[in-house]
Amino acid sequence: MNHTRKIRIGTRGSQLALWQAQYVANILLKADLHTEIVVIETKGDKLLHQPLASIGTKGLFTEELETQLRLRAIDIAVHSAKDMPSQIADDLEIIAFTEREKPHDVLLSLDKNFTLQNNPDCVVGTSSVRRKAILKSIYPHITIEEARGNLQTRFHKLECGKFQAMILAYAGVHRMQLDKYIVREFSVHEFIPPVGQGSIAVQCFAELDYKLKYNIKQAVNHFSTEICLLTERAFLSKLGGGCSIPAFAYATPLTDDTVKIYGGIIHPHGHSKIVHEMVGEKITAGIQLAEWLLRNGAKQILEYIHHH
């Protein structure tokens, strides 16, 4: 393989996705690896009028990028780590996770004084089943409106008055420089983040040239983020869920091999929530957390989701 040619980075076309691709490109450039960005439209970008839960989100934002990896039209694909299905095909692999941005969710509003507590009739926009369920459990009086589309599209709906506030990941809001609209930062214990939130995943075709793969990993991968995300992904995989179930987990590193993982699942209607914390070896702790949840009521919630 000719190493002088540019590494082709596949990405979705939204502003945030392009920011992420450029972020990875800049890291690679520092390691003297030159790149070009290839924009690919995904199913998730096209089906904007359907709620996420009704389409089933497995691979919704990743499938087309994965196809291009298999066709060798691109060398690597850059995704939000939280969009990655918990299990990926054997012919593909994730070779790097970037250092995680703060993982929490934030509330955005054009009204600086907006609070969820003092607005019983307010409408809040979100497309996430996890956020909807948590909102229903803490603020049952609030009306929730579907908010699909990329970050700019959703923000435009806020500007047009479709809702008074919306909940987004801090990472995306910060990367798109919309911080001034944040009226509340949720703690990771109140709104536990979805698996992978805040990090960018780099995926490749498993048979990509070994030396190139090694060089990309060396440049981009952030070790302590990786052990946390592998643990969170093992949790989600064991639970048997994709990003369309209201499950959540957030791991923090303790040593090079051990983590603390806090996570759970909530009923879509918000009336029952099971959370637990596990400390242990990386990856194993995530599996153990999922097993504990399955023994303590998660199975029933998953059965309800699969039948509705």
Domain ranges of the chain: 1-98+199-221, 105-185, 222-301
* Strand (E) or helix (H) holding 247: strand 247-253
Superfamily of domain 105-185: Periplasmic binding protein-like II (3.40.190.10)
Side chain identity at residue 272, one-letter code? S
The pLDDT value recorded for residue 5 is 81
Q: Taking 70 as the threshold, does the pLDDT of residue 2 lie above it?
A: no
Task: Give every strand in the sheet of 7-11, ordered side by side.
Answer: 35-39, 7-11, 76-80, 200-205, 92-97
Separation between Cα atoms, residue 118 and residue 273, nearest integer Å: 24
The pLDDT value recorded for residue 245 is 87
What is the chain's mean pLDDT, rounded?
91
* pLDDT tens figures, 180-235: 999 999 999 989 999 999 999 999 999 999 999 999 999 999 999 999 999 999 99
Residues involved in catalysis: 83
The vertex-27 CA angle with 233 and 167, nearest 5°, equals: 50
Which one is predicted more confidently, 63 or 20? 20
Give the least confident one: 8-12, 49-53, 192-196.
49-53
Q: Average pLDDT for residues 139-158, to the nearest whole number?
A: 90
pLDDT band of 162, cuts 50, 70, 90: very high
The pLDDT value recorded for residue 58 is 46
The pLDDT value recorded for residue 49 is 52
* Matching fold, domains 1-98+199-221 and 222-301: no
pLDDT band of 54, cuts 50, 70, 90: very low
Q: Taking 50 as the threshold, does the pLDDT of residue 1 lie above it?
A: no
pLDDT band of 42, cuts 50, 70, 90: low
3-class state of residue 218 by DSSP: helix
Q: Average pLDDT for residues 81-99, to the nearest whole number?
A: 94
From the list 156, 205, 204, the residue with the least C-alpha distance to 178 is 156
Give the percent of the chain with pLDDT over 70: 91
* pLDDT tens figures, 27-37: 999 999 999 99
The pLDDT value recorded for residue 159 is 94
171 exposure class (CB count in 10 Å sphere: 0-12, 13-18, 19+): buried
The vertex-206 CA angle with 75 and 255, nearest 5°, equals: 100
* pLDDT tens figures, 120-147: 889 999 989 999 999 999 999 899 999 8
pTM of the predicted model, to two decimals? 0.91
CATH no., domain 1-98+199-221: 3.40.190.10
* pLDDT tens figures, 98-118: 999 999 999 999 999 999 998
Superfamily of domain 222-301: Porphobilinogen deaminase, C-terminal domain (3.30.160.40)
